[in-house]
Chains A and B, each alone.
Chain A
Amino acid sequence: GENVEQHPSTLSVQEGDSAVIKCTYSDSASNYFPWYKQELGKGPQLIIDIRSNVGEKKDQRIAVTLNKTAKHFSLHITETQPEDSAVYFCAHLSVRGTYKYIFGTGTRLKVLA
């Protein structure tokens, strides 16, 4: 099982509110979980990541939590701003005999001014 499920597929929030995106994976050997932001016409850009030896990581308005037992991890954006509007992808690193990244299907976040 290499798949990763991501929810919701779309999310609209008012400026200043928080946004939460959740992902579930199945590969128990995964040990690295990055989140990417993709703006129109650009490649994905890493915004935060977490390794399996920690449960939470925060960088200013962005935080990621990891529950290895339940195999899910979440992205939290607080005090959202219009420039946070983009598509967000979770991913995990599959290390079963290989070294490849498996991406979720994406969440389109719209921050309403």
Chain B
Amino acid sequence: DTGVSQNPRHKITKRGQNVTFRCDPISEHNRLYWYRQTLGQGPEFLTYFQNEAQLEKSRLLSDRFSAERPKGSFSTLEIQRTEQGDSAMYLCACLDPVPNEQFFGPGTRLTVL
């Protein structure tokens, strides 16, 4: 257990529905990342936050995706109008800047039918 929690762990939804995932990081870690991982691939960077500020978004993050970290603590990732291609594992990680270690949560596995 890394201390990073994600909910839900699994989500099955129908195409066109909206879904929201939550990440609760280690409280002292002010940098938070979201990644997407598909089968047989490494995690792909989606976006990251420094406290409540979203500093970068990947080109992978279409306008159907939005992430927030309102108080610089937990974060949410919302996907609107889901498509089958959105099926993947969504990972959250927080960063301890000293010594630069990322701590990953267990992920939320999304299946879009």
Contacts and interface: CB of A to CB of B under 8 A. Distances in A.
Interface string B40-56: 11111100100000011
Interface residues of A, number: 23
Contact of A105 (B40, B45, B91, B102): B40
Contacts of B74: none
A76 B55 CA distance: 35
Interface in B10-53: 31, 33, 35, 40-45, 48
Interface residues of B, number: 25
A46 B43 CA distance: 13
B82 to A, nearest CB: 22
B100 A44 contact: no
Residue picked from B4, B33, B44, B45, most chain A C-beta under 10 Å:
B45
B7 to A, nearest CB: 14
A32 B100 CA distance: 9
Interface string A26-44: 0000001010100001111
20 contacts: A34-B100, A43-B2, A43-B91, A43-B105, A44-B91, A46-B101, A49-B100, A93-B100, A98-B56, A99-B48, A100-B45, A100-B56, A101-B43, A101-B45, A103-B42, A104-B42, A105-B40, A105-B41, A105-B42, A106-B40
